[in-house]
Structure 1
Amino acid sequence: MLYGIVATAIALLLAALLAQLLRSPALRLGVLDRRRRRAVPLSGGAAVALATCLVAAAGDATGAAPLGTGVGALLAAGACVGALGLAADVWRLRWWIPLAGTAVAAALVVPYEETGVPGGLLAVGWVVGLAAAFRGLDHADGLAGTVGVVTAFGTAACAAAGLMDGIAVLLGVLAAAQAGFLVHNWHPARVALGWCGALFTGFVLASAAVFVRAGHGAGASAGVLFALTAVACADVVLVFLARWPARRPLVCGGPDHLGHRLRRLGLAPRAVTLLLGVGALGGVLAGVCAHTGWASGGVVLWVVAAAAVAVLALVRVPVTPVLPPRQRSSTASPQVSERLRVRSG
């Protein structure tokens, strides 16, 4: 218990410090988020990944909080995924490269002996999908960090209930690192997650959740996993329903996510984050209760219904159409293009 408190405190402070220290190099190198109206350096993702890996690895190496073989491999794979995401941020790799690397890493850590091969393949798809979902949540100031903190603590509670101490410690450290990142990501954001932080966070959360639910029924597990990540899943479904019928690209950035649509309804940026954070907390509480048996599995259906109502309501909110990257660059004004060029060095 004492180590857990100390570890989370260190992870929070370390992530906040690293996010600030890495901000200037990111600005100089042009590692920026160009989807926003202002250039935001992507130093937050590296800070979250480094703080989580260093603190968790230190606890495992000293014996203060052993992670265990499976969890240690999960952390190592997460570090590799984060490194690949950092390469995508720096060199602007095609979107499928980091996602393919995430799929390979997930395939190496999924516990097939408990899930079976078909279940393991579904788990790999789940891990990749959640990693991509966290990349999408990085569109709004504070949103990805808030959802990450809530989801990590909720999944840690599920792990602790199953006496999976290694996973619980790792997720507690990840939640603290996300909280340290939020110090700089709260509106107006000074840093963002980027591919590095989104892939690392989504990979660790999804893989840990798979470990926690391994051995349970497939249907019940799917419901619990959805509840734990309801906001991220709803954002993915919303974007899909908006873009697929109109044959718009599904993988490029665009102003049609949850946060964008809530802003169009008149909500302030911080209000959007708080509202979606409350929604994430409600889903997490339902998922924890269903996992531990404190409530029947039917509580998950309420989360699914609430998410469906929100998605169907928000999909009708008009947004700016999503254009392919080449078309966006060709239609941008010379002044905007010049400002981005100067800011990116």
Structure 2
Amino acid sequence: MSAADVVSRRRFDPRWGGIAITLATVVPSAAALGLTDLRITAILLAGTAVAALGQICDMTRLPVLARLTVQSVAAGGVVLCGVQITLTGHWPDGPVTVMWIVGVANCFSLLNSTDRLLPVVAAVTAVFLAGAALILAEPAVAVLLATMACASLGLLGSRTPMGSSGSLFIGFVLTCSAVLLIAGRSQDTIGAGLVLPALVAIADTGFAFACTGQISERLHRGGLDLQTVAGTYGAAAGAAGLLCVCVAIGLLAPLTAAAAGTVLVVVAAFQCRTRRVTPASRMAPEQTPPLIGAGAVPQQARGPHRWDGEGLF
């Protein structure tokens, strides 16, 4: 069996961690909240549909257009149930909300391609968003987010891959929850409430599309190990979440908090020191991992920072 065959089979195996985190979030939330809040019910149902889509993507190839269509329909259902950005108060708010939910959910999904960073970011973000929800008198949203935080923490010590199923579910629920919390508020509060909870995911995706590699890759090239990189991402998500809570309390102006968080993440990412890594093709014969010649694909052969080869969409 060739190395390409091994990678292909790994790519299309189902990721059971995604099923676990979906069930661990949906079932307790539905049991605690019931079906009385239409907005929460819509988020749970749409999130489950997106998770099912991700599970199918883990097992077989789907065109990008088909994936985006399903995600857009799920986001549209949530919008029809009252989870909507209220920038203008007119019909354009609906399409804008759908595009934001789908885009940011996929930004969170991209975090799942490196070092299992997503459970750390999801747990920290959900905890601070739950605190903001309590401050803003949205206890149902707080329960949903607290449940997701516990489910994400449960995957930190597990080696079960999350896959597209779990990553899309997490991104979808976190983004919808943030949209729900800022609905009907001032435009500057809406801007800060949308950007801050997703700041780490958006910045990471921005660096990836700017052809500089994800921020985690820069940290790895700087010599940081997996645990330190995960802790760095968690600290960044915590800082952004703390700014969210400060805005909810009224300690900071929304635009000031959003600008401060953005500058902090971008400057920190650019300050990451990199070092040259000897390409695998130039390694001395005695340095070549013995398993490569046997057709296996060890972690070193795939790169120490990637664990399952998943990407955006």
TM over 0.5, shorter chain: yes
> Structure 2 CA distance, aligned partners of 1:227 and 1:202?
14
Give the CA RMSD over aligned residues. Answer: 2.9
1:73 aligns with 2:42: yes
Which amino acid letter does the alignment assign opposite residue 57 of structure 1?
A
Match among 303, 307, 316 for residue 265 of structure 2:
307
Residue in 1 that maps onto 2:215: 258
Which amino acid letter does the alignment assign opposite residue 70 of structure 2?
G
Q: Is 1:41–1:191's contact at 8 Å kept on the other side of the alignment?
A: no
Residue in 1 that maps onto 2:230: 273
Residue in 2 that maps onto 1:289: 246
> Structure 2 CA distance, aligned partners of 1:98 and 1:166?
29
Alpha-carbon offset, residue 299 of structure 1: 2.5
Alpha-carbon offset, residue 83 of structure 1: 0.7
Q: Residues 209 and 320 (structure 1 numbering): CA distance in 2 closer, same or farther, change over 3 Å?
A: farther
Consecutive aligned runs of 4 or more in structure 1 exceeding 3 Å deviation: 30-34, 310-321, 335-340
1:32 aligns with 2:10: yes
Match among 18, 21, 34 for residue 48 of structure 1:
21
Match among 57, 67, 86 for residue 55 of structure 2:
86
> Structure 1 CA distance, aligned partners of 2:168 and 2:257?
29
1:233 aligns with 2:218: no
1:221 aligns with 2:178: no
> Structure 2 CA distance, aligned partners of 1:337 and 1:90?
26
Residue in 1 that maps onto 2:306: none
1:135 aligns with 2:104: no
Q: Residues 266 and 112 (structure 1 numbering): CA distance in 2 closer, same or farther, change over 3 Å?
A: closer
Which amino acid letter does the alignment assign opposite residue 258 of structure 1?
I
- Identity among equivalent positions (%) equals 33
Q: Which moved more, 1:212-221 or 1:257-266?
A: 212-221
> Structure 1 CA distance, aligned partners of 2:199 and 2:84?
27
1:102 aligns with 2:71: yes
> Structure 2 CA distance, aligned partners of 1:214 and 1:76?
20
Q: Which moved more, 1:289-298 or 1:268-277?
A: 289-298
Q: Is 2:119–2:152's contact at 8 Å kept on the other side of the alignment?
A: yes
DSSP 3-state at the match of 2:252: coil
Which amino acid letter does the alignment assign opposite residue 305 of structure 1?
V
Q: Which moved more, 1:87-96 or 1:74-83?
A: 87-96
Q: Residues 105 and 41 (structure 1 numbering): CA distance in 2 closer, same or farther, change over 3 Å?
A: closer
Q: Residues 161 and 320 (structure 1 numbering): CA distance in 2 closer, same or farther, change over 3 Å?
A: farther
Which amino acid letter does the alignment assign opposite residue 253 of structure 2?
S
DSSP 3-state at the match of 2:157: helix
In the TM superposition, 1:194-209 aligns within 5 A as 194-209=163-178
Which runs of 5 or more residues in structure 1 are unaligned?
1-29, 35-39, 185-189, 244-255, 322-334, 341-345
Q: How big is each residue's C-alpha offset from its partner over 1:56-81, in whole Å with a ceiling of 9 and x where there is no partner?
A: 122234xxxx6511111111111111
Q: How big is each residue's C-alpha offset from its partner over 1:9-51, in whole Å with a ceiling of 9 and x where there is no partner?
A: xxxxxxxxxxxxxxxxxxxxx87348xxxxx972211110011
Alpha-carbon offset, residue 135 of structure 1: 1.6
Q: Residues 315 and 209 (structure 1 numbering): CA distance in 2 closer, same or farther, change over 3 Å?
A: farther
Residue in 1 that maps onto 2:304: none
Alpha-carbon offset, residue 94 of structure 1: 3.0
